[in-house]
Amino acid sequence: MAGAAVLPVAVFGCRPRVAGGVCFLEEQVVLHAAGAGCLRLHLEHKWHNFIPGTERSRGVQALAVSPNRRFLAVSEAAGAQPVLAVYELTAERARRRKVLAADELPERQTVSLAFSPDSRLLAAATAPPEGHLACWLWEKQQLAAAVRVQAAGSGPCQVSFNPQDNTQVCITGNGFFKLFKYSEGLLKQMNLQRGEPENYLCHAWLSEEEVICGTDTGKLSLFETGELHWKTSLEYRKPPRELEDTTTKEYESLYAFPNCISGVSSGLAFEDNGLQQHSLPQILAVAAYSKGFACSPSPGVVLLFEKTEEKEVYMESQEVWLPQDRFSTEPKKSGRQDITCICFSPSEETMVVSTNKNQLYMFAMFSTKLTREKTSYFAYMNFPLHSNSITGLDMCIWKPILATCSLDRSVRIWNYKRNTLELCKEYQEEAYTVSLHPTGLFCLVGFSDKLRFISVLYEDMHVFKEFPVKKCRECSFSNGGHLFAAVNGNVIQIYSSITFENVTNLKGHTGKVHAIKWSADDTKLVSCDSHGAVYGWNLLTGKKESECVLKTCIYSSISLTYDAKIIFAVGSDQTLKEISESSIQHEVPADDVVYTTVAVSRSGRLIFVGTSLGTIRAMKYPLTLKKDFKEYQAHAGAVTKMTVTSDDQFLLTASEDGCIFIWKVHDKEGGRVKETELEYAEEVLIMRSDIDEKSQAIQDLQICVRDLQTESDYELRLKDMYCEGKIKVLEEKFTQEIDSLKTKYQILEEEKEKQELQHQVKLSELMDKQAREVQRLESDSHQKISVENEKYQELQVKSQKMEEEYEKQLHSLEESKTRAVAELKEYYEKKLKHKSVLLEEAKKNMRKQIEAHEEMEIQIYEEGDKEILELKDKYERELLEEKESNIQLKGEIGVMNKRLDSLQKELKDRNRDIEEMRLEQQKLQDVITSLEKDIVALKTDIKERTETILEKEKHIYDLKMKNQELQNFKFVLNYGIEEFKSQIESRENDIETMKKQISEMEEELEQFRKESIELKLNITQLQQKQKATAREVHREMEKKQDMETLIKRFKSDLHNCVSFINDSRKLKDSIRELYTKYVHQSDMVGAQAEDADLQQQYKKQQETNERNLAVLRKKVVKDKEMHDTAYMRVIQENVSLIKEINDLRQELSVANAHVHDLQSALKLYKNKKAVQDTAPSSEPLSSPAVLRLNPEMEGENIIEMQQLEIQSLRDQIQEMGQALNYQVQSLSVRNLPELNLERSHKTQ
């Protein structure tokens, strides 16, 4: 859909228990699982970047980031089939690169992922006990290798690559630790597991050869090249008792941000006796860094180990605890969360952990260098998050804040502009609903026992007023803030926000009310319930205005347009309904998905719907039956609440997964939403007691500052005196050293001068020696050269003689060689014959020896086989005996291990049962108290209802008596009505004849209207043609004038040229100038392209005519609509006239009856009265008759006047038609033939 689009700009939430659920992309950028995808979060700038999952995703199960930080691998549960996908993280919005799937592997959920160091291979492990380890060449979407990994039972499984080797993979799980080598499309196991199998929960590579593993019994095992090298057991850690805080057991707790984030050290851990004394340590997470590794053996703590050179390879260096909430209702449990994932930043300055309660914590590693304390504490990464399903969400107008409540018993105030948490408060009861006042200074929260009106203070939430509304699941402030509505079962109670009085109660629902919405002007309220009823209430009267009931649907949410004319509702029947005028006007199916909530923008153009799968659908209004919507993957659970801000810029959604999404709204069809910065209110509320405490604290701190200043001044003076003394001593020392160095420098300079003189003398001597030796060598070399020349001449003579002698020797040798070759040839031929004879004899001997050897070999093999079989039988017997003994020993060991495991499980189960029983006991006590309160309330309700029943019975008796009286009156009226009906029938015949006349007149009017429209169309067409011809004539005239001026110029120039007719050169030059002046390339091109221009002009004229025709058609349609409206107005006026005629007829009939009665009365008194008495009585009789007959005469006069007006209109239309015909004929005679001639000339 092109009309609406939303983009997630912020996400407040975290998905727990995801393998590799938190990791760093940069020094300040963290990636973690949230909702149905992943979230990139900048710790300093607070920007969010959401990476949505695949279609119908139910959340991330495992994720991994490549070593080069460019790619992200994600395992998701999407519908029936699991999905394994790889995303590219380099762009602003991560895009999906590949989806990995193979027919060879079974469809099982991937529980752990890891990239190779070069980011080319991706290892994926599926859930045990029948798990698989697969290696993917993910860029080619090719399964490189796969191997089945058998496990002793179910449990966590982890896979990782060697950080220095692209082919070595490690996988651990319940009962196995295996190293595999990838080569030639196969995964080959490198190690043999020895010793008792253990349940390995996690592992990490410390170096190229070392792997550290953690077990479910608190053991740390260090493997080097697959062999166990070092082992230690960790104890269950209890929180330190350093600062045992005496916090009061209050009803509610508070976070005020950002103050809580900085003050981490205030939340020290407490010891939770009873449960944790019998708990066993479990190492759930391990992560390596340059100095060693970090692990979590117990809930709420991370231990840092560093490498040593002693026998124990690694030693514990520090404990880091989660901060404990000292304001919480259960402070001992707030810090005891299981740490499921640990990761370090690229520079190893920051450590981030995630817990099983959706929380993220961070720890600055540089603090370990500065402080020597063994215990340190984590800080929240930004702020604490919801750990359970969100049940309520609302926003205000004055401030950019929203309020949420959750089943984790907390109410939180968020700022969606700054992406921060401003307030958080925890209560003892679960909060079901929340509503913010338009000012943002107050809120309503519905709890199980009461509805509370709360003041939102600067650092607190103060309960101002409580209302006896139990289990309030829905409440809402009006848009003006002067009223608020609260749902009490199937009754909606309206209260005043100023006096807190119950203004009215809206009764009528038979089922529980699920949603309520106020209109923009606060005069109307719309509600829906579980029995399929949608009611519209008028708050001025307190009664129902409209109702729409569909008993097959359980409505869950409704929304109103700004003008409150259209209601949108969703429910259990998988449709979105558009309701107006007490009926369903439109239904949009959801395609096998249940719509859970709906919201409409203030402009009314956009509709947003949340589904049970956690997706958001954006639609445009009006609705269509087609799939005309955009669907966005967001939450991992059903969307519970949704609202649009008052400026239509943001969409806010909350879900069962505990996540809140802030979406930016883009309305493409109706123009982009105005992004003008609204001026939000900065005012806050604060208690007077808090101001007094803070002012007193400021005074105390000022006194402390003064004392510290005096102390620091005194210490500075002492330090100055001490430093001045030291400076003097150092000055004396340095002056002495400077003097000694100066003397040394002078001595060294003198020695340097002496050595320079010595070097100069030696240099001069050496130069003299070198010159002498050069002269001597030159004389010796000349002598040697002359001697060598003489020797060379002698050798040349000798060489000539030697050449002659050697030529002679060569001739003699060639002759001797030919002789020797002939002799040797004869000798070797004889020898060859002799050797061939010997060879045949040797072959015969060799055959005999081979046969003998084969016989010997056969005998030796037979004897060897017999000996081998005997030895094989002997060793097989021994092997069977040993196997039987081993099987017995293994069976005994297995029985012992099973007993040990069963005992450990029984211990854990008993501890869990004890804890569950305690929790159940507390819950049951709370339930008993609440039920007792309910019983008392119900008894009071029963008494009140009995009293109301008695009052209503009395009222019913009174109504029955009135009903009898009304029935008697009804009998009298029926008799009068029958008499009037007989009089009306005669008049109705007259009315029908008048109606027929009116219909005939209306038909004539419509014919005249059509004729006038056609005539107007003809006039407009002819006018446009006339204008076009006038334009063409004007253009041609302009061209003609231009050509005449050009011809005049050319004639004058030509006349000047003729004067040079005797001088040929000047004539030639002047002709060239004429050519250059009057003959242009554009003219040549124009001469060549005249035909093309004519065709283009013809096409353009045709296009203009077509456009004019389209414009005329639109005008005709508009004129038709105008005439239709005028026609409807005439009809309405006729109807009103007919109604007046009917009223006048009724009055006339009444007057006639009155006259008849008076005449009858007069007949009785004729004999008794005289003529004088009858005269005055006739005047009152005649005058009313005249008055009553005037209306009938007036109606006839009106009809006559209308007929005259119609006749005048007909005459005017005929005159207009004649004038139009005359104009058309004149135009056709004058203009149209000329236009046709011009066009024909141009085409020729």
**pLDDT one-digit tens code per residue, 239-255:** 875 434 433 333 333 44
Residue 1190 pLDDT > 70, yes or no? no
Q: Which of 251-265, 395-409, 944-958 has the highest mean pLDDT?
A: 395-409
Q: What percent of the chain has pLDDT over 70?
A: 88
Element of type H or E holding 762:
helix 688-1058
Q: What's the whole-number mean pLDDT along residues 665-683?
A: 69
812 vs 66, higher pLDDT: 66
CA-nearest of 1124, 1131, 1129 to 1010 is 1124
Backbone φ/ψ region at 46: left (φ over 0), alpha (ψ -120 to 50), beta: left
β-bridge partners, 650:
664
Q: What's the whole-number mean pLDDT along residues 361-381?
A: 79
Confidence at residue 673, expressed as pLDDT on a 0 to 100 scale: 47
Residue 1179 pLDDT > 50, yes or no? no
The residue length of the chain stands at 1244
* Per-residue pLDDT tens digits for 71-104: 999 998 876 678 899 999 876 778 888 888 877 6
Element of type H or E holding 361:
strand 360-364
Angle in degrees, CA 700, 705, 711, rounded to 5: 130
What is the C-alpha to C-alpha distance for residues 1208 and 172, in angstroms, rounded to an integer?
Answer: 103
- Other CB atoms within a 10 A radius of the CB of residue 89 amount to 21
CB of 337 within 8 A of CB of 359?
yes
What is the C-alpha to C-alpha distance for residues 654 and 1219, in angstroms, rounded to an integer?
Answer: 73
Q: Which residues, other chains included, contact 182 with Cβ-Cβ below 8 Å and sequence gap of 6+?
A: 121, 135, 144, 145, 167, 168, 169
Q: Which residues, other chains included, contact 549 with Cβ-Cβ below 8 Å and sequence gap of 6+?
A: 531, 532, 533, 534
CA-nearest of 345, 237, 361 to 289 is 345
Cite the DSSP H helix spans in 507-594. none
What is the C-alpha to C-alpha distance for residues 113 and 105, in angstroms, rounded to an integer?
Answer: 16
CB of 4 within 8 A of CB of 666?
yes
Confidence at residue 1136, expressed as pLDDT on a 0 to 100 scale: 81
What is the C-alpha to C-alpha distance for residues 958 and 966, in angstroms, rounded to an integer?
Answer: 13
Cα radius of gyration rounded to whole Å, the chain: 54
CB of 340 within 8 A of CB of 21?
yes
Q: How far is CA 846 from CA 782, 839, 840, 853, 857, in A?
A: 80, 10, 10, 10, 16
- In this prediction, residue 666 has a pLDDT band, given cuts at 50, 70 and 90, of confident
Residue 1086 pLDDT > 80, yes or no? no
Confidence at residue 1195, expressed as pLDDT on a 0 to 100 scale: 60
Residue 1082 pLDDT > 60, yes or no? no
Find how far residue 135's CA is from the centre of its chain: 30
Lowest mean pLDDT among 59-73, 312-326, 374-388, 644-658: 312-326
What is the C-alpha to C-alpha distance for residues 352 and 26, in angstroms, rounded to an integer?
Answer: 13
| Whole-prediction pTM | 0.59
- In this prediction, residue 369 has a pLDDT band, given cuts at 50, 70 and 90, of low
- In this prediction, residue 303 has a pLDDT band, given cuts at 50, 70 and 90, of very high
* Per-residue pLDDT tens digits for 962-1016: 888 887 777 777 777 877 777 787 777 778 888 888 888 888 888 888 888 888 8
What is the C-alpha to C-alpha distance for residues 762 and 759, in angstroms, rounded to an integer?
Answer: 5
Confidence at residue 324, expressed as pLDDT on a 0 to 100 scale: 78
Residue 586 pLDDT > 80, yes or no? yes
- In this prediction, residue 260 has a pLDDT band, given cuts at 50, 70 and 90, of very low
When the pLDDT of each residue in the chain is averaged and rounded to a whole number, the result is 82
φ/ψ of 345, rounded to 5, equals: -70, 165
* Per-residue pLDDT tens digits for 1139-1154: 888 888 787 888 778 7
Q: What's the whole-number mean pLDDT along residues 1072-1097?
A: 68
Q: How far is CA 895 from CA 885, 987, 1118, in A?
A: 16, 110, 95
Report the b/e string of 966-1005 with b at 16+ CB within 10 A: eeeeeeeeeeeeeeeeeeeeeeeeeeeeeeeebeeeeeeb
Lowest mean pLDDT among 4-13, 144-153, 347-356: 144-153
* DSSP annotation string for 435-495: EE-TTSSEEEEE-SS-EEEEEEBSS-EEEEEEE--TT---EEE-SSSSEEEEEETTEEEEE
